[in-house]
Amino acid sequence: MKHIVALSGGKDSTAMALRLAEVEPQDYEYVITPTGDELPEMYAHWRKLEGLLGKAMTIINKRSLKGVIKIHQALPNWRMRFCTTDIKIIPFNEYLLRMWPCTAYVGMRADEPFEKRKGNRVHGGIEQRFPLREWGWTISDVLDYLEFRGVTIPPRTDCARCFFQTIAEWKRLYEEHPEIYADAIAEEESTGHTYRSPGRDTWPASLKELASEFDRGRMPRTKPSMEGRPTMCSTCAR
């Protein structure tokens, strides 16, 4: 029986992987599904985790964010989250089928909606386990454990450009990674779509117009959150 840990590098999957190695030591395989649009600090985080876990990660990167945008001729949005489906969910499930029989470990907490998935199998011979739920761990337990282990999760664990992110995060990208921001503008212009939904707030939808607002000195308001990332993609954040 193979033991496959879905390790996005977010707070939940990171805490799960580290704690599993402590309480149920065995030959785990740690699988990541990068989109090719992660920021440098995310790759540094994965390398640190490899050191802490004492094992290299298995990388599944059949498709990139740019690749799926080209296939769909559109930008992902809250109605069409093909980025998550095409890059992460489908490739991971296909990998599990190739590893049959196996157990897949998923970082879903006890305080999250469970969608009736407990005990379900992705396919015959493939079983899912949710250790954080088994332990009764909530967000507080996860954060306390990561602090105890001295592990800091990067501000962004998902794509550098994501329709879920806040104005403050777009501003940070504009200031710290202008080449990525410029590339995202080019994608909007070539597809005729925008990452941000029109009418979502009082800010412009297009990234080009958003940059003009930043240049004029307009400052985004930030919202407090116990998780620190109120609008992050839930799948990528794990």
The alpha carbon of 134 is separated from its chain's Cα centroid by a whole number of angstroms, namely 22
- When pLDDT is cut at 50, 70 and 90, the band that residue 232 belongs to is low
Give 43-106 as a 3 state SS string: HHHHHHHHHHHCCCCEECCCCCHHHHHHHHCCCCCCCCCHHHHHHHHHHHHHHHHHCCCEEEEC
Calpha distance 60→1 (Å, rounded): 20
- Whole-prediction pTM value? 0.88
pLDDT value at position 225?
Answer: 47
pLDDT digits 0-9 by tens, 127-157: 999 999 999 999 999 999 999 999 999 999 9
Q: Are 129 and 20 in contact (CB under 8 A)?
A: no
How would DSSP label each residue in 146-200?
Answer: HHHHT----S--S-SS-TT--HHHHHHHHHH-HHHHHHHHHHHHHHT--SSPTTS
Q: What's the CA gap between 65 and 86, in Å, rounded? A: 9
Residue with token string 């094992």: 55
Q: What is the mean pLDDT of residues 21-31?
A: 97
pLDDT above 70: residue 117: no
Domains of the chain in start order, with CATH, are 2-156 (3.40.50.620), 167-215 (no CATH)
Q: Is the pLDDT of residue 231 over 50?
A: no
Average pLDDT over residues 203-218: 98
Q: Which residue has the higher pLDDT, 92 or 116?
A: 92
The two structure tokens encoding residue 119: 């005990």
Render pLDDT for 100-109 as a digit per residue (tens, 0 to 9): 999 999 999 9
Q: Is the pLDDT at 118 greater than 60, yes or no?
A: no
Describe the crossing of helices 207-215 and 167-176 by its angle, rounded to 10 degrees. Answer: 80
Q: What is the mean pLDDT of the chain?
A: 91
Q: How many CA atoms lie within 13 A of 222 on its CB side?
A: 10
The whole-number pLDDT of residue 230 equals: 40
* Predicted local distance difference test score (pLDDT) of residue 97: 95
β-pairing, 58-59 vs 102-105, is unpaired
Q: Summarize pLDDT for 36-86 with one digit per residue, the tens.
A: 999 999 999 999 999 999 999 999 988 999 999 999 999 999 889 999 999
* Angle, in degrees to the nearest 10, between helices 178-191 and 207-215: 140
pLDDT digits (tens, 9 = 90+) for 155-207: 999 999 999 999 999 999 999 999 999 999 999 999 999 999 999 899 999 99
